Amino acid sequence: FHQEDESFENKKTTVLYLLLISSKINNDSLFNIMQMVSKQTEGRFNVVPIAHSGAWIQEHLWEYQGFFQKVMIPENSIFQADVPTVIHWHKEQLYSDTCAMQYRDCNELFEKYKLLRSQEELKSNEGLGLILSALFYRIGTVFPYATLGYRPNDINIRILWKLCEYADPKVKNFAYLIQKLPFDFFEFINPHKNLYWNFCHLGEKHFPILDELAQGFIDLIDKQFDK
């Protein structure tokens, strides 16, 4: 439902955003698909896959119809099964306050993080990595919800981040901050990497970068709710 070209170190990659309608694809498989395509094409192509069953889409149309009605058009169809998925569209889209509540929770978590960062007598940075990984993952979920009218499932953060870039190309501007970090930012964000032990022991040199990155993303979300 979307295609764009990216260039890095004089190498071009074509990125394809895919909606897979299937009841046999789980969330873990999506990241495997992403990795497999990149490897088999030697980086010439990358895919950003999301997947839902036809029944799931139908059940959640009351909230996500705006998104699905935009992307599920004949021109975007790559493959159709012998028995196509038939969606019964509603005459109008209904809205819930779930997105606003998630936005509020995200902001409250960010305020908690800033409060801890402001403590001059904080003897240890222990736990801040866990808060940050949760914060960025929540941002990655809330942002497509606020901009596209679509709340992703619990998918890999790399897919979430690409969805955020699709929702607003300004997210790509954060790449220069990510490149300043001496560790894999996306591995760091994955919650389980910080849940049982620290993926990286954060030092004072890391926090200004992470602070700016978090604040910049929060500012983008704020603009969606200021409209």
Name the average pLDDT for the chain. 91
Q: What pLDDT, on the 0 to 100 scale, is given for residue 225?
A: 85
Contact between 68 and 196 (Cβ < 8 Å): no
pLDDT digit string (tens) for 13-66?
999 999 999 888 988 899 999 999 999 999 999 999 999 999 999 999 988 999
Q: Tell me the C-alpha distance between 138 and 157, whole Å.
A: 10
- What distances in angstroms separate CA 174 from CA 23, 37, 168, one per listed residue? 35, 25, 12
13: three-class secondary structure by DSSP = strand
195 vs 64: which has the higher pLDDT? 64
Percentage above 70 pLDDT, the chain: 98
What sections of the chain are H helices per DSSP?
27-40, 54-59, 61-71, 98-117, 128-148, 157-167, 175-180, 185-189, 192-195, 207-226
pLDDT digit string (tens) for 108-133?
999 999 999 888 777 778 888 999 99
Q: What is the amino acid identity at position 134?
A: A
- Per-residue pLDDT for 180 more than 80? yes
Q: What pLDDT, on the 0 to 100 scale, is given for residue 227?
A: 67
Q: What pLDDT, on the 0 to 100 scale, is given for residue 144?
A: 96
Q: What pLDDT, on the 0 to 100 scale, is given for residue 83?
A: 63
Q: Which residues contact 118 (CB under 8 A, 6 or more apart)?
A: none
